[in-house]
A and B are shown apart, each in its own frame.
Chain A
């Protein structure tokens, strides 16, 4: 990160994940610009590889945002997403990367307050922990 510009990536499902981000934006909520959203059809589509590659490509914090569990548009997708995140957290711990950099969140399309809180939480983590390994990323 340079000059207080942390790099945060969020994999959002195109159903309630994106809907909650859209509602927050349409309710006038402001949040840090450093978050980059990548849309996926379902949180269950997210592969461990995507999360690890995001860190490799310079992300300092990564999150996955899906529908509330038991309310996933595809029934079990957000639960699958959480499994993937938990699995990759273990892998991060093994290679000495802080587990907090990766997180799973759930939101509903009516939670206008949720998305800004998620962004601010992950941006804070990225700012606090800095680039991975301490040295520069590209």
Chain B
């Protein structure tokens, strides 16, 4: 049976890989970054005692599943350099950059502590990315410059640092390709009047999730204190002519409402103001979050888009917004502001995509379609349209199924 190439190791790529492998196919999975999981690596589980169905653990569990499968050949720090049409499908050249750390790595992190480079040159896997093996960014590493620095290697308890690691090129012949390059979060700094990048205590939802994922707590970046009054703002960057992202990113309300619930689980005395335009809680009745907010006396739902976030008194933040009926201006002080950002598709307009016939349409997404599928190229996941992890999983199983049957017809 011919192999299948999956480009992208995020929720879509991982689910499709596992689904194909379960059905007996062989898969070559190529991931640009150093670990599997995609954006889900940096998102946090949003439950403390009770699961909130965000889907993050699903993606990471699938990453672990794929790494255990003999029929899934995983290439990390890799990119597809070229795709040539061949008799039985495609001939694909994959380039893998050297990682410089072997599987003996136990993730202790002593190397990172010892690394003398400003901003470090050796890193743990991002967030919850799998496998849990560190990696060296050659461009920053002093060993590869004039100084033969060996600080990390000398302190590694299992001798896992391998400066002799080399780039590798392999060629694979595949019968079908899944293009699942995923998303990039919108940079909250694009909405400049909301203070991100300027005011320390204004964080984007991506940063808030990353911090919660690493530490289980969200503290003010400026002084490390626990915030007592938090503002969460929706639709930052999405549904906006200014950023050019006029669509709705679909998952932000879902994740932001669940983060709000998590923050209140962690500290039930937090005052939380939820600024939103429309409450688009996916797969949940619209009233459920409203009912929860009403039951928690300290949560307010405010239907307005704040205009400006500026420094307030005593290190707080001042949020200026019009009221729902546009008749008054309110100014409220907060300890922390979280800006819920949406996403843009990643790789929708890449050279590689174009060589496969994949191009972004006027919305910026790469929709795929029957013509591409007829050639054995399947576009899958959030690069086709906004979706959350759960929908991505179903779509990926559906795409994998199409490939499975396509191949049986004598690919």
Contacts and interface: CB of A to CB of B under 8 A. Distances in A.
A/B touching: CB–CB < 8 A: yes
Interface of A: 16, 19, 23, 25-28, 67-71, 106, 108-114, 117
Contacts of B124: 27-28
B214 A110 contact: no
Interface of B: 44-45, 47-51, 53, 56-57, 60-61, 64, 106-109, 124, 128, 132, 213-216
Contact of A71 (B47, B64, B107, B128): B47
Contacts of B60: 109-110
Contacts of B106: 26, 28
A16 B107 contact: no
A69 B51 contact: yes
B51 A110 contact: no
Given A23-B128, A27-B132, A28-B109, A113 B50 contact: no
A106 B109 CA distance: 27
Given A16-B57, A28-B124, A112 B50 contact: no
Contacts of B53: 70-71
Specify the main secondary structure of chain B where it touches its partner.
Answer: loop
A112 B51 contact: no
13 contacts: A23-B128, A23-B132, A26-B107, A68-B51, A70-B53, A106-B49, A109-B57, A109-B64, A110-B56, A112-B214, A113-B213, A113-B215, A113-B216
Contacts, number: 64
A68 B47 contact: yes
A71 B213 CA distance: 18
Given A71-B47, A110-B57, A117 B132 contact: no
Contacts of A111: 45, 216
A26 B63 CA distance: 15
A28 B47 contact: no
Contacts of A28: 106-109, 124
Given A26-B107, A117-B216, A108 B132 contact: no
A16 B60 CA distance: 12
A110 B215 CA distance: 12
Contact of B107 (A19, A27, A69, A110): A27
Nearest to A30: B108
Contacts of A109: 57, 60-61, 64
A26 B285 CA distance: 38
Contacts of A19: 61
A71 B109 contact: no
Given A23-B128, A27-B132, A117-B216, A108 B107 contact: no
B49 A71 contact: no
5 closest residue pairs by CB, A with B: A71-B51, A26-B132, A68-B51, A113-B216, A28-B109
Contact of B49 (A26, A27, A68, A112): A68
Nearest to A25: B107
Contacts of B132: 23, 26-27
Contacts of B107: 25-28
A68 B261 CA distance: 15
Contacts of A70: 50-51, 53
Contacts of A26: 106-107, 132
Nearest to B128: A110
Given A16-B57, A113-B214, A68 B128 contact: no
A19 B49 CA distance: 16
Nearest to B132: A26
Given A16-B57, A28-B107, A71-B57, A112 B128 contact: yes
Contacts of A16: 57
A84 to B, nearest CB: 16
Nearest to B212: A113
Contacts of A68: 45, 47, 49-51
A111 B61 CA distance: 12
A111 B128 CA distance: 9
Nearest to A106: B49
A26 B131 CA distance: 9
A65 to B, nearest CB: 12
Given A26-B132, A27-B107, A71-B57, A110 B44 contact: yes
A34 B29 CA distance: 41
Contacts of A113: 213-216
